[in-house]
Amino acid sequence: MQHHPVFPRSLILLAVLTSLGLGACGGSSSNDDSTSAVVSDSYVIPAAPAGLGYAETAAVQDETTVLPFVDYAYTNQRGDARYATLATNAGVRLLAGVLDLWTPSTLIVDAGVTAAANGSFPAVVASTWSGIPGDATDGKKVNATVLDANIQYVVTATTARTAEQATAAYLDDRRGKGYSVTDGMGPLTTAWRTAAQQTTSITSVPADATTVLYSDSGNNIGVGSSTNTTFGAAVDLISSIGNNASTEPAKRFYKYARPWRWSSSVVVVPELVPAKSTTPATDGGTPSGHTAEATRDAIAMAYLVPERFQEMIARGAELGENRILAGMHSPIDVITGRIQGLAAAAANLTAASSTTRKTAVDQAHTALMAASSTSDLQAFNAYAHSGTTATDRFADYATNKTNYLRRLTYGFAQIADKTKSAVVPKEAEVLLETRLPYLDATQRRVVLKTTALASGYPVMDDAEGWGRLNLFAAADGYGAFNGDVSVTMDASLGGFNASDTWRNDISGSGKLSKLGTGTLRLAGSNSYSGGTQLAAGTLAADSVNAFGTGDVYVSGGTLLSNAAGTLAITGNFTQLSSSTLQVALRSNSQGTLAISGSAILAGGALHVSFPGSYKPVVGDVITVVSAARRYGSFTSITVDGFKATPTYTATGVQLRITG
C-alpha cells in the first residue's frame, strides 16, 4: 500500500508555511504554547476513498424454478391430495436436503394420512410404514455415516445429561413453547408475561415419573387483542406466526423415526416416558415440531423487542437442543425444525401488513417501557441488558454467540460443496426489520448473505437459503463489504437508529460511508479494504482494527477512537475542518492512532477524553497521533479536565500535560 500521499493536481493545494500548533485547557484553546518540528508543511487534501463504485445485492433465486416458501406456505397441508408431494408441498420441499441422507419408504405425505383425489391429483393412501426402524416398511439410509452420527449424538448427550439439563428439557417439553422462550427476555421477562397475561401450569417436575403425563393447561403466548387492549396486538402477531407452519406434513413425508426408536441406548428423561407416543407410524421425528414452534415464537418476540434480539433467538435455539437432551429428537430433527421455523416466521411476518407489525412493536414498547420506568429507547435498551449472569441466563454475549453457532450445525462436518455462494430467501429481510431499522430492505438482505454459514452441512443447503441463515451474526451487521456500503442513521428516531454496534469481523474490498446523525460503532477485527468515510454523526472504533486496511477520511461528524489498544489505520488518515477526532484514552496508548500512511490534518477539532480510570499527570507526554508522515494541524484541541500543549512533529502529534 502507498503510505505517502500522491494526489491529483486538480485537488486543492493547501500550503502551510508554518505548521500551526494549538494549546488546550479543559475546553479552551490557544496558539501561544505550541511547538513544531517542521517549518515547511505543504500538502494537498486528497479525495475521499473511491471504493468499488457499486453496492452488493442479494437477488432472490429464479422464482420459476425455486418456488419461494413465503408465496407457497399455504400448501403446507396434510390430508389434501394437491399438496402431498415434494413438488407440491412447500413445507416438505423446504427440507429436501433430508433426501441426501435418507430415502423414506414412500415420497408422499401419507404416514397415517389419507386424502381423496382432487382433480389431476391422485388419492392419497395411507402408507404401510410402521414407524419402527429396520423393519420391512422402513426407508433406506443414503448417508449412513451422518445418520449413525446423528443418533449417536443423542446417545452421548442423554447419557451425560445433568439433573439441571433434565429439568430444563422436561419443562421445555411440557410447557407451552411460547411461555418457555419468554425467559429469554431477561430483565423484561416478568413485565412481558404480565403484559401478555401468559400463564402456565408447568412449574415443576412431577414427583411420580411413571404414571403422570403432565401437560400445560396454561395459555402459552397469552391473551390477544379481543380482551387485552394494552398488549393484545403484540400477542396477535405472535399468534399469526404459526399460520401454515405445521411440521406434520414433513414428518409424514420423511418418515424418519425418533432417536429412542433407533437406539435403546438413548435415555429419555424419565418424567417424559409417559409422553412417548405409542403410535410410531404417525410419530416421525423429522422435523422437530417443538423446535419449529420455539423458533417461530422466539423470532416474533425478537422482532417485537429487538433490544433482546440475540438473546431471544438464542433461547429458541436452546429449546431445540433441549429436545435432544430430552431424548425426544435428534440433531437432524432439530436443524430441520429450525429451518422450517425460520421460513414460517418470515412468511407470516410478511403476510402481516407493515401497519400491523408497527402497531404490535409500538404496543410492546409502550407497555414494557412503562413497566421498566424508562422514557426513551436508549434507556429501555440499557434496562433490557441490566441483568447479570446470576439473574439473566442470556446476559453473556460471548456465551450466547458460541452456543448459537454450535447449535446451528451440532458438530456435523461439511459433506458437500463448501464453496457455494450464499443465497437469501425471498422476504427473509423482514426478520431484521426492527433490529437494523436504518438499513433498507436490500441492505438487510446483503447482511443475511454476508453472515450466512458456509455451504455443505447436512440438510442445510436448501435451494432458497433458509438453512444457512445465521440470525445471531446478522444482528451484528455486515459480515463483509463485497460492495460499497452507505449507512444513514437518524438519531431523532431513537433506538438503533440513534446508536448501534456492528460486532462482526468485516472482510471484503468495499468502502463504508457513514452519514446521518446517529452513532455507528465498529467492534470487530475488520479487514475490509475499500476505505472508510465519515460524513456526519459519529463513527466509533471500538476495536483496534475497526477500520480495516483502507484509508480513513473524516469529512464531517465525529470519529471516536475508543479501542482498548492503539487504533490501527493501515492507510492514510485525512481530517477536514468541519469534523472532530475524539480520542478516548484508557492509558497513554489505548485509544491513540497509529497510522501506517500519512496523517493529513486539514483543520478540525481534536477532543481528548478519559472515560476510564486512567488520568494523566502533569508532565506526561502522550502521543495522540503517530504516522509515517504528518501534514497540517488541528484547528482546536480540547483535553477534558487538563491543560495541554501540543507538539507537531514530522510523524505525529503529541500532547504535554501542563496542568
Tell me the DSSP string of 62-125: -TTTS--HHHHGGG--SS-GGG-STTT-HHHHTTGGGGGTEE-S-SSS-TT--B--BTTBPPB-
In this prediction, residue 211 carries a pLDDT of 77
Q: From CA 545, how far away is CA 461, in angstroms rounded? A: 33
Q: Which three cell numbers stand for residue 440?
A: 433498507
Question: Can you list the positions of beta strands (E) in 543-641?
Answer: 552-554, 557-561, 567-569, 573-575, 579-584, 593-602, 605-609, 621-633, 636-639
| pLDDT averages per 10-residue partition of the chain, 659 residues | 39 38 41 40 89 97 97 98 98 98 98 97 97 96 98 98 98 97 98 98 88 88 97 98 98 98 98 95 98 98 98 98 98 98 98 98 98 97 98 98 98 98 98 98 98 98 98 98 98 98 98 98 98 98 98 98 96 98 94 97 97 95 97 97 96 97
Cα-to-chain-centroid distance, residue 49: 29
Sequential DSSP letters for 626-640: EEEEEEEE-SEEEET
Q: From CA 552, how far away is CA 595, in angstroms rounded? A: 10
Whether 173 and 277 have beta carbons less than 8 Å apart is answered as no
φ/ψ (deg, to 5) at 263: -145, 130
Q: Which three cell numbers stand for residue 265?
A: 441406548
H helices of 160-270, in order, are 163-174, 177-181, 189-196, 232-240, 248-254, 259-262
Helix (H, G, I), strand (E, B) or coil at 146: helix
Whether 347 and 244 have beta carbons less than 8 Å apart is answered as yes
CA angle, 431 then 512 then 638, to 5°: 115
Q: Where in the chain is the domain with CATH 1.20.144.10?
A: 69-395
Model confidence, pTM? 0.94
Q: From CA 69, how far away is CA 425, in angstroms rounded? A: 8
Q: From CA 480, how far away is CA 526, in angstroms rounded? A: 9
Residues 6+ apart with CB under 8 A from 91: 69, 73, 75, 76, 244, 245, 246, 247, 249, 250, 340
Residues 6+ apart with CB under 8 A from 311: 184, 185, 186, 392, 394, 400
Question: Can you list the positions of beta strands (E) in 482-602?
Answer: 485-489, 499-502, 512-516, 519-522, 532-534, 538-541, 552-554, 557-561, 567-569, 573-575, 579-584, 593-602
R_g of the chain, CA atoms, integer Å: 29
H helices of 136-188, in order, are 144-159, 163-174, 177-181
In this prediction, residue 213 carries a pLDDT of 81
Residues 6+ apart with CB under 8 A from 144: none
Q: From CA 444, how far away is CA 442, in angstroms rounded? A: 5
In this prediction, residue 215 carries a pLDDT of 87
Which burial class, exposed, middle or buried, applies to 640 when counting CB atoms under 10 A from its CB (0-12, 13-18, 19+)? middle
Sheet holding 636-639, edge to edge: 499-502, 519-522, 538-541, 557-561, 579-584, 605-609, 636-639
**Top-tier CATH class for 69-395:** mainly alpha
Helix 331-351 × helix 309-325 angle, to 10°:
140
Q: From CA 421, how far away is CA 443, in angstroms rounded? A: 17
φ/ψ (deg, to 5) at 139: -80, -165
Report the DSSP beta bridge partners of residue 630. Answer: 599
Residues 6+ apart with CB under 8 A from 301: 181, 182, 184, 185, 192, 238, 308, 312
